[in-house]
Structure 1
Amino acid sequence: MALTLSQKAGWGLADMGIVVFVVVKQLLVFAFLTSQLGVPVGLAGAVTTAVLIFDIITDPLVGYLSDHTQSRWGRRFPWMALGAVVMAAGMIGLFAVPAGMGTSANLAWVVGFFVMATIGFTMVAVPYGAMAGEITQDPRERSTMTAWRMGFASIGILVGGALVPGLAAGLGHATAAIVVSPLIIGAIWLSIFLTRRAPRIAQATTVDPRAVITLVLGNRAFVVLTVLYGVMTMAIALITAGLPFAALYLIIDSGDTLLSGAATALTTLSLMFAAFVLGAILSQAVWVALSRALGKMGALVLGLSLYILLMVVLYFELPSVNVTVIAGLFVLAGMANGAYQQIPFAMYPDLMDVTRTQSGQAIEGAFSAIWLFGQKVANAIAPLILGAILTAFGWVETTQSIVVQPDAALGALHVAITLVPAGILGLAVVGLLAFYRPPLAHQRGP
């Protein structure tokens, strides 16, 4: 049975709420620890990484439990509905640090609520990803669903990357989190409502954990794609983690360019994210069309190659006082990022079908958990790498948002958010061309 337009769009809607938290997590937590609480940058990177590593451990558990859940609402919805509330509450709590505590107490507070928020995120994201392989087996529908998903995700990026930092600058981080929490919960709950009549596999699987692992890891194309998507995510996570520092130290508004007024009103960080999201939104239909013309693999390689080129160009443009030029580059980067966002998420559910057809087992939750595992490893390591690089070159932590930094530290930041991600994306392209061999039926777009 073909999905209705409201079901395709409704499935995509949940990602708007998910992505708001993801961007806030990647963009603000590390900078909040170092620039607001005065935590040394190396320690902040290590703590952030430790929490995200813990989050990785929960993925297989939630995937296994959601596959084995049986309820009147199906296998996925109960987890998503509760997880949305846990995620939003944890996000508010991690920024609501009481005044007057020392560094150790501040860290303990942030870590406790960060763990809570990431558990909630897993409760939503793993079952949600599993639905892509459950509600349809049509690759054409999956490409359309993923385009809707990434369109809504782009709005989530705009909210998390442009609205939240602006609100945080004016009202404080905790208040900003409170303001956007209804959007997070509402998007996920409304998605559940709109997809309640979509086809689903209601019967809980009975496969034991060892057999589940064997089936998932036996799908070689899926394993390779998961690893390489993790590599891509590492590059993007480095850019995201370093962008708040770049907005303070490498993009200095001269006050006399076309977008100077916008940079003043929104803050430079918010303007860059708004430009990035505009590019991502504009590109969604383009990447669907290119996936059909070139195949999903060909379109993805093209998008990543464009991304690499833009990172090199950005390296030569920074530092800059022309926010208009940099914003224009961020629009183009957002368009290239659309390929990273959209195409792999349309590819991996196709690979779930292969295992289900061969084994007869519906273990989409396990596939979704492993898929997220690769991304979370990358997101966990990126702050640690950035923190180690900045520490090695003498970065100075502060409680005043900005302070004079050594030239060597600024140079290290410059390279870490441009040439290093470009090199990592280059490795991903080489890996795709050398090792990714999907079943013939899935090598072309629908």
Structure 2
Amino acid sequence: MDAMGQSGAQVGSHSVDRRTIATYAVGSLGTGGFATLPGLVLLYFLTDTLGVAALVAGIVIAAAKVWDVLIDPVIGIRSDHSLATTGSRRRFMILGGVTLPVFFFLTFAVPAGLGPAASAGWVFVAFLCCATAFSLFQVPYIALPAELASGYDDRTRLLTWRVVVLTLAILLFGAGGPLLRGISDDPRVGYLVMAAVAGLVLGAGMLVASSVAPSDKPIARRSPAQSPAAAYRAGLDTLRRSRPFRTLLGTFVLQGLATGMMLAGAQYVATWVLRSEDAVTPLFVALIAPALLLAPVWGRFARRVGKERAFALASTLFAVAALALVGLLWAPGLWVYAPVALAGAAYAGMQSLPMAMLPDVISHDARSNGEGHAGTFGGVWTAGETAGMAFGATVLSMILATTGYAERVAGASVEQSPSAILGIVLSFSVVPALLLVASLFTLRWYRLRQSDIDSPSRPAENRTVAR
């Protein structure tokens, strides 16, 4: 057995030990926190503290994330190379965990004397470095479940508890971040405090999870280093040969676009629709409290009906909840917390189930094409996830710009036009709901089932689901 099968998980048995589950799950403090806090506050920081125009702010975030998308497949194939030559992916994860807190702090440490254009440039460079550090951790982290657990249900169990921590991280950063930001009357100081505390927590979660990867050890197998061009070819090849991967990734990207848009829009809804900048905290509590309770329930439900059916139900519920939020146009009020809570209950399934399906896809591919490609799959997956979340904020910025949103510098007072309020609400309700409906159509083409994973007697190349 090679090194990737020896990581504290009992690969080949019917269970994964609790220590492996817990240690792996802690990494979601980093992944969940980084996915949540910049998505929630960075666009708002640019438009309402630095005075950057909404469209320019959206381009800044998208450009940094495009770089992230480009490097993810390269990190993925280099991670596979590291596994083949040293028996471990850990070095990438540690490097990301050490450097991310520094760049996260610098993203919000914009000197006060800079104008909007220079401030946008500062944020772009710092956030680009921050996204790079995150990818160094995230790509191998995504690849690990295929190596830590060998069974269909074992992966559901491993990923379910990861999503419990992920959900807790969303609550911690989504509600706690704005509270830390409000610790000072000076918004710039508040953002610095938030960035310092959040960055340390992000890095700590990543470093703890890095220990679940096997440590470096000399092994007989050797693999030549791959060029970036080879990395892209390998990534495209995974998409070409694996239909389950294409359909699952397409579904997840569409949903990432929807949730990224809603995440970036939450602060605008709180400030301009609910008329309280601090209302973003109870919005996140309403979203995450049901998700915390129901993440394990979705895992149990998936074992009864199948992951893909449970995923479709969760996605449908989220679409219904998002569409209901269009009522904010006519009657903003406390009722909003009910559909937000329904969205939270659905969101737990939308996160845990595709994450549990991805290792199945990797395992299924390994039967036909050999092991050692999990990092490549992880790189393409992370690139798709990053693109979805990032362009969610960009689409929001385009809607805001089109509907006449008025940016401001810290301390300035502005009023938004009715068309700007319309843009905020539609981007928080109708547009995400339509994206969720589109994702259900792509999910219909996912054909991988438990029998394809846990029945080794059937050759993978003879199964129609593979292509």
TM-score by length of 1: 0.90
1:61 aligned partner:
74
* Aligned with 1:314 (options 325, 328, 352): 325
Cα deviation, residue 78, structure 1:
0.8
Seq. identity, %? 26
Question: Does residue 326 of the first structure (1) align with residue 336 of the second (2)?
Answer: yes
| Partner in structure 2 of residue 257 of structure 1 | none
- Aligned residue for 1:339, secondary structure, equals helix
User: Which residue in the other structure is 1:350 paired with?
Assistant: 360
1:188 is matched with 206
**Aligned match of 1:371 in 381, 385, 390?**
381
Distance 1:443 1:356 in 2: 11
Question: How is 1:400-419 mapped onto 2 (pairs within 5 angstroms)?
Answer: 400=411, 403-419=414-430
Residues 83-98 of structure 1: matches in 2 within 5 Å? Answer: 83-98=96-111
- Report the count of equivalent residues: 429
Q: Kindly tell me: are residues 3 and 34 of structure 1, through their superposed partners in 2, closer, same or farther at Cα, counting changes over 3 Å?
A: same
Question: How many Å apart are 1:41 and its aligned residue?
Answer: 0.6
* Counterpart Cα distance in 2 of 1:216 and 1:361: 16
Q: Tell me which amino acid in the other structure corresponds to 1:343.
A: L
Q: 1:72 to 1:362 in 2, by over 3 A?
A: closer
The residue type paired with residue 301 of structure 1 is A
Residue 93 to residue 211, structure 1, CA distance change in 2 (3 Å): closer
Report the Cα offset of residue 170 of structure 1: 2.0
> CA-atom RMSD, angstroms?
2.4
Give the corresponding residue for 1:46: 59
Matches within 5 A, 1:60-139: 60-69=73-82, 74-139=87-152
The answer to whether the 8 A contact 1:12-1:148 is kept is yes
Answer yes or no: is the 8 Å Cα contact 1:52–1:379 preserved in 2: no
- Measure the CA separation in 2 of the matches of 1:157 and 1:186: 16
Among 28, 32, 40, the alignment partner of 1:27 is: 40
**Which stretch shifts more, 50-59 or 98-107?**
98-107
> What is the distance in 2 between the residues matched to 1:252 and 1:99?
27
Which string of whole-angstrom CA distances, capped at 9 and with x for unpartnered residues, describes residues 154-191 of structure 1?
A: 12101221101111122411111111222212212222
Q: Which residue of 1 aligns with 2:440?
A: 429
Alignment of 1:5-24 (within 5 A): 5-24=18-37
The CA distance in 1 between the partners of 2:121 and 2:74, in whole Å, is 25
Instruction: Give the counterpart letter for 1:110 in structure 2.
Output: V
Which amino acid counterpart does residue 187 of structure 1 have in structure 2?
Answer: G
Q: Contact 1:234 / 1:382 at 8 angstroms: preserved in 2?
A: yes
State the secondary structure of the residue aligned to 1:69: helix
Counterpart check, 1:387 vs 2:397? yes
- The one-letter amino acid paired with 1:338 is A
Higher mean Cα deviation, 136-145 or 114-123?
136-145
Q: Is the 8 A contact 2:238 2:377 kept in 1?
A: no
Matched AA of 1:188:
M
> Aligned runs of 1:167-182 on 2, under 5 Å?
167-171=180-184, 172-182=190-200
Q: Relative to structure 1, is the Cα distance of residues 160 and 318 closer, same or farther in structure 2, using a 3 angstrom cutoff? A: farther
1:202, distance to aligned residue in structure 2 (A): 9.8
| CA distances 1:21-72 after superposition (whole Å, capped 9, x unpaired) | 1111211111100000000111111111111111110101100111111599
SS in 2 for 1:438: coil
SS at match of 2:118: helix
In the other structure, the counterpart of 1:248 is: 271
- Secondary structure of 1:222's counterpart equals helix
Tell me by how many angstroms 1:418 deviates: 0.2
Residues 187-196 or 345-354, more deviating: 187-196
How far, CA to CA, are the matches of 2:379 and 2:408 in structure 1? 37
| C-alpha contact 1:45 1:387 (8 A) present in aligned 2 | yes
Q: In structure 1, what is the Cα distance between the partners aligned to 2:80 and 2:86?
A: 13
Aligned equivalents of 2:329, 2:154: Cα separation in 1: 41
Displacement of 1:195 after TM fit?
A: 5.5
Deviations 1:233-279 (CA, angstroms, capped at 9, x unpaired): 111111011111001011246xxxxxxxxx9xxx2111111221111
**1:188/1:176 Cα in 2 relative to 1: closer, same or farther (>3 Å)?**
same
CA offset digits 1:381-430 (Å, max 9, x no partner): 22221111111111100113762100011012111110110011001112
d(CA) in 2 for partners of 1:377, 1:72: 30
SS of 1:99's equivalent in the other structure is coil
Residues of 2 paired with 1:247 and 1:181: CA distance?
Answer: 24
Contact 1:46-1:383 at 8 Å conserved across structures: no
One-letter identity of the residue aligned with 1:182: L
In the TM superposition, residue 346 of structure 1 has moved relative to its aligned partner by 0.4
Aligned residue identity for 1:220: R
Written as runs of structure 1 = structure 2, the 5 A alignment for 1:180-219 is 180-194=198-212, 196=214, 205-206=223-224, 209=230, 210=233, 213-219=236-242
Match of 2:371 in 1: 361
Cα distance in 1 for residues equivalent to 2:352 and 2:365: 22
Distance 1:352 1:202 in 2: 24
Output aligned runs, 1:213-232, within 5 Å: 213-232=236-255
Residues 82 and 88 in structure 2, CA contact (< 8 A), matched pair in contact too: yes
2:249 partner letter: T
For structure 1, the 5+ residue unaligned runs are: 254-262
Displacement, 1:286? 1.4
1:393–1:321 CA distance, 2 compared to 1 (3 A): closer
Query: In structure 2, do the counterparts of structure 1 residues 185 and 326 end up closer, same or farther at CA, with 3 Å as the change threshold?
Result: same
* Conserved 8 A contact 1:395-1:405: yes
Q: Is the 8 A contact 2:152 2:450 kept in 1?
A: no
The answer to whether the Cα contact below 8 Å between 1:67 and 1:205 also exists between their aligned partners in 2 is no
How far apart are residue 76 of structure 1 and its match? 1.5
In 2, are the aligned partners of 1:393 and 1:412 still within 8 Å (CA)? yes
Conserved? CA contact 1:252–1:322, under 8 Å: no
Contact between 2:78 and 2:225, CA under 8 Å: does it hold in 1?
no
Q: Which runs of 5+ in 2 are unaligned?
A: 1-9, 185-189, 455-467
